[in-house]
Amino acid sequence: MYRNIEEITGKRTFLSTGCIKAMNGDIITDKEKILERWAEYIRELFQDDRKDHNIMKNNFAGPLIMKEEVETAIKKMKHGKATGPDNISVELIEALEDFGIGKVTHF
């Protein structure tokens, strides 16, 4: 079907023109030289001349979360929503008052 439509409309799509520009601007038409130019381009593209940087260690400890931050976050949550995989609802944390907020802050 597609072939018939192309014949009728006369429109053809070309995947490649069969040429590429070299670094100096010359046009390359030889298939082997085109492949070499693509390899050269990819090497240039992914070349990393940056200085070595310090890799962070597995130190995931950040600043402690304050109880007030947890209280504010719980107040902003909507009621009546489905629980997550822990099966703890906002209403449950609010019902436990300071004890619940303290436990969530500790986590």
Q: What percent of the chain has pLDDT over 90?
A: 6
Average pLDDT for residues 1-18, to the nearest whole number?
70
Average pLDDT for residues 46-70, to the nearest whole number?
75
Distances 29 to 17, 21, 35, 104 between C-alpha atoms, Å? 9, 9, 10, 66
- pLDDT tens, 19-32? 888 889 899 988 88
Please state the pTM of the whole predicted model.
0.39
Residue predicted with more confidence, 17 or 9? 9
Q: What percent of the chain has pLDDT over 70?
A: 84
14 — pLDDT class (breaks 50, 70, 90):
low
Average pLDDT for residues 83-89, to the nearest whole number?
87
